[in-house]
Chains A and B, each alone.
Chain A
Amino acid sequence: MSKLITDYTKAKDLKLDVSGFIINFKPYSLFPKYRFSLEEVKKIIPKIRKENKLVFLNMDALIREKDLENLKELLKIIITLDFDYLIFHDFAIYNYLKKKGLENKLIYDGKTMVTSKNELAFFKKQNLSVFVSRELKKDELEVISKLDNALLEVFGFERIFYSKRPILSLFKEFKNIDEQLTNKVYKLKEKDDLYLAYEEDGEYFVYLEKIKYLYDELKDLKNNFKYLKISHAFIEDITYVIDKYNDLLNDKNLEENSKLLEKYVNEVTL
């Protein structure tokens, strides 16, 4: 049976009814706002363990050569921590943990890059579990989920653009704008469509304006994935959503929840 995981953002989250928490590292993860330094992570892990939950560490950024030595210094300490899984995107992280014999703790988050069962099969040969891309259709998920190494983000704002260029800061400088443009969500409008622009620590992202989620589609698939991730990004309280997905896993109130979740998603605006 699939298990639910979500991002850890604050102490209150510890009471959420999930199997594990993702702690997003600062630097080297792309999660907005709630990212944690090594010292903070060291303090959060025991709190999660106290709740008997799994600990997922997230370092899903791509790493430039200039940051490689710092990354390795950090990994040296990270591998001594009490964690279950480390989510990565850059194969520098894979290489490091493999050398230490810890590749069984790795989960590849290939973002947009894992879109076929053959890709999943490749990673299975490397003993890796993998987040599959979010833009897949239901029939694709059906095929992909037959392999047993897939994870899927089923709820949250979808990131559709990732840049190492601090585009909002550059724009502020170009236009002499007084307002601070980092660490805040801005609306981008293209004709009648809205998107979200966000910059933090020199990296710039675009998200879909509305939460993207799978619920009805998961009725037949819900047990095919190792973990289903509920993204906490830009959502302060995720309790309501977690409850609905727990109901899904337990086959409870599906029709009613489907309507309630649709209503919830339509009401959330940033």
Chain B
Amino acid sequence: MKKVELLIPAGDLERLKYAVMYGADAVYFGGINFSLRAKASNFSLEDIEEGVKFAHKHKVKVYVTLNIVPHNEDFEGLKEYLKALSKIGIDGLIITSFAYLDLVNKYAKNVEKHISTQSSVINSDAIKFYENLGVDRIVLGRELNLDEIKAIKEKTNSKLEVFIHGGMCAGLSGRCILSNYMADRDANRGGCAHSCRWNYSLKLESGKLHDFTMGSKDLSALGLIPKMIDLGIDSLKIEGRMKSVYYIASITRIYRALIDEYLETGEIADFKIYEEELRSVESRETATGFLEGDIKPDEQYFDPKLENAPKNFLGKVLDFDSKTNIVTLEQRNNFKIGDEVEFISPHKKAISFVIEEMENSDGEKIEVAPHPLEIITFKVSFKLEEGTLMRKK
């Protein structure tokens, strides 16, 4: 069975490292300029260099987003930036603008060119146009079902990348300028205010007013991954450069395990295990979007439930002393003595544990760890590996 790439977002260096440790085949992020997701902690050139070194050491590829729709002033410094990226040795650039593509062809020739989903490429003939411009990969628009993706795969030579998880635009990507008018933020230059998810009232002809929203539920293609691998899709992409370390690590871990199980055994013995894991991480309701066919009413966010950021992430293991089995942890959510917790890590199964005693950074015994980022230490009876996170059981 053909190997498929698991492509994970990285909002900053820390998240990049967790994505790599937890099993990404490739990571993507934006630089400080020329990239969407303006609010993500985007990478400086020094960060990019460090990120590339770390990723390449683990045989993980690095793609940098260059996916804004640029205005006249957005070309300043681009040539130098591209030369620098090329020198650093990034593996690919994710591009929307044709003018940017032209410059990449000149100044970053050794770098793969990926067309962003912002371009909303949704048919094979459009892909052929991009192929003639020297493009290597297309991130397909999210308006395609699996039959259409299959047909595109059969008719084109480009590598195909498909979103499998995360937030989805309800409109065609790149063609939405709701935020420009509603929030004075340019959606195509990193300012998307998610205005499609806002609350509106819709006045019908009868005069009746309805609460209304246009947003779609988040995407989760978990149950479709085997079919997507069988179709020969080259890269399975997760959205979420703004998400937390815990989210990135957990989602990567889930999809890594699922993909590996399918590649090794040719089947998924029990999807429920993965679905339950996913529910513990995901704060919004999910759906499969267009992948399984026409959109149904329950795939829209018409009845928005309160979004609850899961509170089950308790802390990040900063250090583990293998001689004493002492864990040094950075707190992220409240926990106390007697709580049953679980350690997740890149290469081991989750380990359950009941906290019996712990100390703060002053060496004082404490009953509760209520302070975010507080450093806590306690002893466990097993070994932990680098990158371990602690969550509620």
Interface residues of A (CB under 8 A from B): 62-68, 90-92, 94-96, 111-113, 115-119, 121-123, 135-136, 140, 143-144, 160-167, 170-171, 173-175, 177, 179, 181, 184, 186-190, 193, 195, 197, 204, 206, 208
Question: Which residues of A lie under 8 Å from residue B172 when comparing CB positions?
Answer: 62, 162-164
State the CA gap A166–B122 with chains docked (Å). Answer: 17
State the CA gap A122–B70 with chains docked (Å). Answer: 13
Q: A65-B148, A116-B74, A116-B75 are in contact. Are A188 and B205 (CB under 8 A)?
A: no
Check if B283 is an interface residue, CB within 8 A of chain A: no
For the complex formed, measure the closest distance between the CB of A124 and the CB atoms of chain B, giving whole angstroms: 11
State the CA gap A193–B182 with chains docked (Å). Answer: 8
Question: Which residues of B lie under 8 Å from residue A62 when comparing CB positions?
Answer: 120, 122, 141, 143, 172, 175
**Binary A-proximity of B152-180 (CB < 8 A = 1, otherwise 0):** 10000000000000000011101111101
Of all chain A residues, the one with the shortest Cβ separation from B196 is A161
Check if B300 is an interface residue, CB within 8 A of chain A: yes
Sample (13) of A-B pairs whose CB atoms are under 8 Å apart: A95-B129, A112-B176, A113-B96, A113-B174, A113-B188, A116-B74, A119-B70, A160-B177, A161-B175, A175-B302, A177-B204, A179-B204, A190-B199
Interface residues of B (CB under 8 A from A): 69-72, 74-75, 96-99, 102, 119-120, 122-126, 128-130, 141, 143-145, 147-149, 151-152, 170-172, 174-178, 180-182, 188, 195-196, 198-206, 210, 212, 214, 216, 290, 295-300, 302-303
Given A92-B123, A189-B203, 9 more pairs with CB closer than 8 A = A63-B126, A92-B129, A118-B102, A161-B177, A161-B214, A164-B290, A165-B216, A190-B195, A190-B198
B71 touches A111 (CB 8 A): no
Q: A113-B69, A186-B202 are in contact. Are A122 and B99 (CB under 8 A)?
A: yes
Of all chain B residues, the one with the shortest Cβ separation from A139 is B72
For the complex formed, measure the closest distance between the CB of A141 and the CB atoms of chain B, giving whole angstroms: 10
Question: Which residues of B lie under 8 Å from residue A116 when comparing CB positions?
Answer: 70-72, 74-75, 97, 99
State the CA gap A62–B299 with chains docked (Å). Answer: 22
State the CA gap A65–B143 with chains docked (Å). Answer: 10
For the complex formed, measure the closest distance between the CB of B81 and the CB atoms of chain A, giving whole angstroms: 15
7 smallest CB-CB distances across A and B, nearest first, come from A92-B125, A118-B99, A91-B129, A65-B148, A174-B297, A91-B126, A163-B171
Q: Which of A66, A111, A135 contacts B180 (CB 8 A)?
A: A135
For the complex formed, measure the closest distance between the CB of B242 and the CB atoms of chain A, giving whole angstroms: 22
The interface residues of chain B, by DSSP majority, are classed as mixed
State the CA gap A112–B172 with chains docked (Å). Answer: 11
For the complex formed, measure the closest distance between the CB of A209 and the CB atoms of chain B, giving whole angstroms: 10
Question: Which residues of A lie under 8 Å from residue B171 when comparing CB positions?
Answer: 161-163
Question: Which residues of B lie under 8 Å from residue A177 when comparing CB positions?
Answer: 204, 210
Question: Which residues of B lie under 8 Å from residue A143 when comparing CB positions?
Answer: 72
Q: Which of A164, A165, A173, A190 contacts B182 (CB 8 A)?
A: A190
- Number of A-B residue pairs, CB cutoff 8 Å, is 178
A186 touches B203 (CB 8 A): yes
B96, B122, B178 pick with most chain A CB within 10 angstroms: B122
For the complex formed, measure the closest distance between the CB of A75 and the CB atoms of chain B, giving whole angstroms: 10
Of all chain A residues, the one with the shortest Cβ separation from B216 is A165
Question: Which residues of A lie under 8 Å from residue B122 when comparing CB positions?
Answer: 62-65
B200 touches A65 (CB 8 A): no
Q: A92-B123, A197-B202 are in contact. Are A171 and B71 (CB under 8 A)?
A: no
Q: A163-B171, A171-B297 are in contact. Are A122 and B102 (CB under 8 A)?
A: yes
B204 touches A186 (CB 8 A): yes
Q: A94-B129, A112-B69, A188-B201 are in contact. Are A162 and B170 (CB under 8 A)?
A: no
Of all chain A residues, the one with the shortest Cβ separation from B96 is A113
For the complex formed, measure the closest distance between the CB of A66 and the CB atoms of chain B, giving whole angstroms: 5
B297 touches A173 (CB 8 A): yes
A160 touches B181 (CB 8 A): yes
Question: Which residues of B lie under 8 Å from residue A179 when comparing CB positions?
Answer: 204-206
State the CA gap A34–B171 with chains docked (Å). Answer: 23
B130 touches A64 (CB 8 A): no
State the CA gap A195–B96 with chains docked (Å). Answer: 28
Question: Which residues of B lie under 8 Å from residue A187 when comparing CB positions?
Answer: 202-203
For the complex formed, measure the closest distance between the CB of A24 and the CB atoms of chain B, giving whole angstroms: 17
Of all chain B residues, the one with the shortest Cβ separation from A181 is B204
Question: Which residues of B lie under 8 Å from residue A173 when comparing CB positions?
Answer: 297
B302 touches A174 (CB 8 A): yes
State the CA gap A175–B209 with chains docked (Å). Answer: 12
For the complex formed, measure the closest distance between the CB of B233 and the CB atoms of chain A, giving whole angstroms: 14
